Amino acid sequence: MVSSKSFFLLTRLLWHVSSGYCFYNDEYGTVSGIVTLENILEAIIGPVEDEFDDEQPEIVSEGSKQYTISGNTSIDAINQRFGLKLEAAHDVDTIAGLMIARTDKLLAPGDRVELSGAIVEVLEVRGPRAILIRLTLSELPPDQKK
């Protein structure tokens, strides 16, 4: 299937093929991806959860002022949830990216970073990515309290 195929034609094609997926070619004929019927449904109605999706919640409470969070949780989500004012640095959007920017190295289990209003510690790393992080809320300095 070529990239210029219309949404309607793509849907009809996927509906009639028994495999339920098509390879996506660019204008040079190079395969650049795969499109599934689920991709099309999600484009129309939003995320579809099925028995193969194993997403964990991004933020889980562990008790008073302590949370485990996914490394790819956005800084904005953390600020909104906890009322913090964490500033993204060096064009990073996630808590793991912020930790890497502050430590200037790839993260390892046990690495800790003190932030304004919180201490974050890496719990699990998979390859170069921090997968699970513990966030412990601390007292904010008086000039940052609401």
Sketch out the chain's domains with CATH numbers: 7-45 (no CATH), 59-144 (3.30.465.10)
Q: Where are the alpha helices (DSSP H) in 4-143?
A: 7-16, 37-45, 75-82, 95-103
SS3 103: helix
More confident residue, 110 or 31: 110
**Amino acid identity at 35:** V
96 and 105 Cβ atoms separated by less than 8 Å: no
Whole-angstrom distance, CA of residue 48 vs CA of residue 33: 20
SS3 11: helix
Structure confidence by residue, pLDDT tens digits, 59-112: 898 988 999 999 999 999 999 999 998 887 668 889 999 999 999 999 999 999
How much of the chain exceeds pLDDT 70, in percent?
Answer: 84
Q: Which residues pair with 125 in a beta bridge?
A: 130
